[in-house]
Each structure stands twice: as structure tokens, then as C-alpha cells.
Structure 1
Amino acid sequence: MDITTIPNKPGTKYWVSAYVNVTGGTISMRAYGDIMASQRVTYALLATVAGPMSMYYSVESGNPTVTVTNILICTWDEYQTNKTLLEGIGYFTGNTMPLA
């Protein structure tokens, strides 16, 4: 399964942070292993092709419902410049996300 987000620019490194809530089963994400509850996932990625950015997971057991909220995507350079601020953000919505 994949969750599609914003378009990306090839060759650009991005920092991604999202809150993942899983009920009714277990999923697996490459960097995090099995997820069967709620947790924030954070990772860096290098865009290799133009087009929407995706977050991938596979179903490990059950019939999970996966909800992804509070997504923050920025370039790696923006993340490095504003690291303290970005890592200090708890939970936010699209209406309350501070500008970096």
C-alpha cells in the first residue's frame, strides 16, 4: 500500500514526519518494522523521480485501518536549518503548522 503526498523534485533530499495510527491489525514499514498502534514515524529520503512522494507499508496481520495525520515534509536543508523548532513540534494540523 502507499500513501501519496506532495510532488517532489528529483535529487532533493527530504525530511518526512507523520503520525501513523493502526487499528485492527499490524503493518510493517521498512525503517520501523511492525506497527500495531499509534506512533510518529520520521525519516529522510532522496527523491529519484519527479511525481508524488509516497509512504509505503505492508499488511502483516489482520485487516488494519491505517490513518496518517500531522504530516510534515520539508527539504533536508530546511530541516537542518530549523531542526530544534521542527523536532519540538508535538502534534499539529494543517491549520496550525508553524512556518519554518
Structure 2
Amino acid sequence: MNDRVKDLIYRRRRQILVHSFLYYQLNTNVIDDHKFDRWSRELAELQEKYPEESKAAGYYEGFKGFDGSSGYDLPYATPEIQNAGYSVLDYHRRNKK
């Protein structure tokens, strides 16, 4: 198993969950659509190319069948993801120039 790939899959899943929460629940964003789309496509490709690492990475169940087209139906309404989303939003607002 490639731990670097597994870690990247996990990181992309968390990023997509947090930014989906910000977009779909709070009607805001801190990254542009191009970046979100790039992360989504990368994740979909990684999951397909590395199924073992994908299953071992966190949030596997929520990303079964994820094709990168939307984050609308992902499980972003958990306290962990919401707290991370509020932290990202707070950081962004404090450091906006």
C-alpha cells in the first residue's frame, strides 16, 4: 500500500467536504471553482487508480461512486467537518487582504 497516496486521498476528501460545507450550507467559498474542480477530478482519478488506498483512507463510505462532478450529496454535515469549515472561514476572514 502506498501511504503517500492514501494520505493524499484523505486530504482531498477532507478539503472537498469542508469546501462543500462552506458552499452548500453557508453559501460562501474561500477557494475558486477551478481549484475545487481540480481537487475533485484528482480525487476521482486517485480513487479509481488506487482502490486499496481509497478504501483505507478516511471517509471512504461517503465517497463511494464519487466522480468529481459535485460535492452536494457528500456527508459534510458532521460536526467534525462543520467545525473545520468554520475554522477555515474564520482564518480566511482574518487574513483577507
Question: TM-score, normalised to structure 1's length?
Answer: 0.22
Instruction: Say which one has the larger Rg.
Output: 1
Of Structure 1 and Structure 2, the greater strand share is in 1
- Using CA pairs below 8 Å that are at least 6 residues apart, which structure has the higher relative contact order? 2
The structure whose residues are more often helix, as a share, is 2
